[in-house]
A and B are shown apart, each in its own frame.
Chain A
Amino acid sequence: MLQEESDLSLIIAQIVQKLKGSNLYAQLERQAWASLQRPEIKLQSLKEDIKEFFKISGWEKKLQNAVYSELSVFPLPSHPAAPPEHLKEPLVYMRKAQGSWEKRILKSLNSMCTELSIPLARKRPVGEQKELLNKWNEMGTDEPDLSLFRPVYAPKDFLEVLINLRNPNYENGDSLSFRTHLGLIQVPLKVKDIPELKEFFVELGLTTGQLGIDDSTQVPPELFENEHVRIGQKVLAEQDSAAAQQYIRQGSPTALRAELWALILNISSQPEDILYYEQLKTNVIQHDLLVDSLIYKDVKLTASNDDYYFVFEDYLYQVLLCFSRDTSVLGHFAYNSASPPKSYIRGKLGLEEYAVFYPPNGVIPFHGFSMYVAPLCFLYHEPSKLYQIFREMYVRFFFRLHSISSHPSGIVSLCLLFETLLQTYLPQLFYHLREIGAQPLRISFKWMVRAFSGYLATDQLLLLWDRILGYNSLEILAVLAAAVFAFRAVNLMEVTSLAAAEAVLADLSTLKVMPLLQIFLFATVT
Chain B
Amino acid sequence: MSRVSVPCHVKGTVALQVGDVRTSQGRPGVLVIDVTFPSVAPFELQEIMFKNYYTAFLSIRVRQHTSTLTPPKWVTCLRDYCLMPDPHSEEGAQEYISLFKHQMLCDMARVLELRLILRQPSPLWVSFTVEELQIYQQGPKSPSMTFPKWLSHPVPCEQPTPLIEGLPDPSRVSSEVQQMWALTEMIRASHTSTRIGRFDVDGCYDLNLLSYT
Contacts and interface: CB of A to CB of B under 8 A. Distances in A.
**Real binding pair:** yes
A20 interface: yes
Interface stretch (B73-81, B88-96, B153-161): B88-96
A79 interface: yes
B208 A327 contact: no
A-B pairs with the 10 shortest C-beta distances?
A21-B194, A360-B199, A79-B96, A21-B192, A190-B89, A190-B91, A82-B96, A120-B207, A343-B207, A106-B210
Chain B binding surface, main DSSP class? loop
A139 B128 CA distance: 57
B210 A3 contact: no
Nearest to B97: A79
A488 interface: no
18 contacts: A21-B192, A43-B176, A46-B179, A79-B95, A119-B206, A121-B207, A169-B53, A169-B126, A169-B128, A171-B123, A188-B88, A287-B205, A344-B211, A353-B201, A356-B200, A356-B201, A356-B207, A360-B199
Contact of A328 (B100, B127, B195): B195
A447 B203 CA distance: 41
Given A79-B97, A346-B208, A357-B199, 19 more contacts: A44-B172, A47-B183, A79-B95, A79-B96, A79-B98, A81-B96, A123-B205, A167-B90, A168-B126, A169-B54, A169-B125, A171-B126, A179-B124, A190-B86, A190-B91, A325-B199, A331-B195, A341-B210, A343-B211
A326 B90 CA distance: 35
Contacts of A342: 210-211, 213
Contact of A17 (B97, B183, B193): B193
Nearest to B95: A90
Contact of B94 (A91, A103, A346, A360): A91
Most buried by B among A25, A345, A354: A345
A109 interface: yes
A103 B205 CA distance: 22
Given A21-B193, A169-B54, A190-B86, A346 B210 contact: no
Contacts of A47: 179, 183
Interface string A335-367: 000000111111001000110111010000000
Contacts of A90: 94-95
Interface string B49-91: 1010110000000000000000000000000000001101111
A330 interface: yes
